[in-house]
Structure 1
Amino acid sequence: MYNEGARRDGETSIDGFAPSKIRNFAKKLTFVPAGCGYRERLETASSTRLTFLYLDPTVLRSDGETDYAARVHFEDVVVWETAAKLKSAIENGQAKKIFYLSALSSVLAIELSRSDDSASRDAAPIRGGLACWQKRAVVGYIEEHLGEQICLGTLAQLARLSQHHFCRAFKKSFGVPPHQYHVQRRIEQAKLLLADRSIPITDIGFALGYCQTSSFSVAFRKTTGWTPSEYRREFK
């Protein structure tokens, strides 16, 4: 995680991939798969702050199928925010909350796989899909309003499209309709909150926009196959 910084000279490279000589790398991310050589040379031009996070390869490969590709200096607001939570938890002395960190790591692995799946779309958007700036605007808004009802018209306005064209382009880019994507992100956030047993399940549901605990339980089970209580028991 490149929290801040810029360089006058240097490059970042991963074995088998073209090096990056980008000058301003603030808020950028680099992902290095296990076993790949990684080199970074920085002749800094401003205050520079980097964070290195290590994820156990067995966590990344927990689905047994996803093969994560290296990526240098990419942007992804969803991946960034989860990585920032993991960084903060470690720095704030929460390392003893092993199940919380484990949940964060698992969610980060999922988000990295999605980010990797969309990497080619970032470079060359799918025909009929959203452009890079549109995806960033829409995803950023959804992340900021996870616990609220999001109006389809608002998302369409952010992308500067009609609602009809926006829905079609969003599904092209993300593989699911906007509402389903919103629900998926809510459930992923719920997993993180459920890892902290001090937060009542009812409060988690309310925080994520569910008016009743029963509706939260139904949505959570539909996505994960478990009720919130069953999921939480796994963190004993």
Structure 2
Amino acid sequence: MPNPARTTSKQSVAVVGSLIRPLAEHPPAARDQNPGSRSLVEISPIEVARRRSAAWPGFRAETVEIMRHTTFEYGFQAPCHLLIAAEVAERYDGETFVEGLPRSTLRDFTQKLTFVPAGHDFRGWQRPRALTRVTYVYIDPRGPLADPALRFEAVEFKPRLFFYDRDLWQTAMKLKSVVDNSDSVHRQYAEALGVVLTHELVRINGEVELRRSVSRGGLACWQRKRVATYIEEHVADDVPLATLAELARLSPYHFSRSFKHSFGVPPHRYHATRRIERAKQLLANRDLSVTTIALRIGFSDTSSFTAAFHRVAGETPSHYRRNLD
């Protein structure tokens, strides 16, 4: 996967500014006059950062590791919300600024969250005491996964700097794990986390009360049958959560809750189980290799198939096949 930091243009690097200058020396007129052109947090110098990202409908998650004990700067302003989860963040010196809040010179903000609403300026610099590890989550205010009942795109979010919320932190760390293991994590799981994330952000913002209009009885019979049939017909495909929700004529959030009530497991886990059941049927055919079966049911390689099969069945595909004798 290409390193996003290495594709940064010279113009956008210039936006971040010269190293070590205090934030007070960066007047607004000197900053980017077209902030919407930047879709990721800019880091300068770019070579100090190792970045990895994954994207889904309406949001993107990115993990960033600072590789050297050298002073670096960062900046961001875009028409999307930004959630920052700092897993390791200790500095000898530095400042952080989120538009609408006072500057902070906090030295240790490990396990702290920051939320930058769409359009707000976020920038800072630091001389790291420990090598920084941080996860950025970029959320489209009009993303298709957001529950319509939330009116997420209309919420006037407040900026927050260096705070902690257990549920929001856990969701961010789950997204970090998805990025780190993107080859083996089911798409529907990541999208479900995105749905949860929008609700958590509205909750901590305190501006809107969530409306719990979901049916407590789960999916109707026609919805269960329609969704289950579709999954069977597309068991080898990476089916978006929004597609399944549309089949049931529900929002992704309400669909996920109702599906779990009806089937006992979330959609992504049900789909994964059905995929492994299909694999078991194919393993009975000795003419098909394990690699062929892996590709036929939607895995890119044998190792990811073997890991997924073991998680569901408790044994490897080869061991399962030997026990068929």
TM-score between both structures, scaled by the size of structure 2: 0.36
TM-score between both structures, scaled by the size of structure 1: 0.49
Instruction: Name whichever structure is richer in strand by fraction.
Output: 2
Instruction: Name whichever structure is richer in helix by fraction.
Output: 1
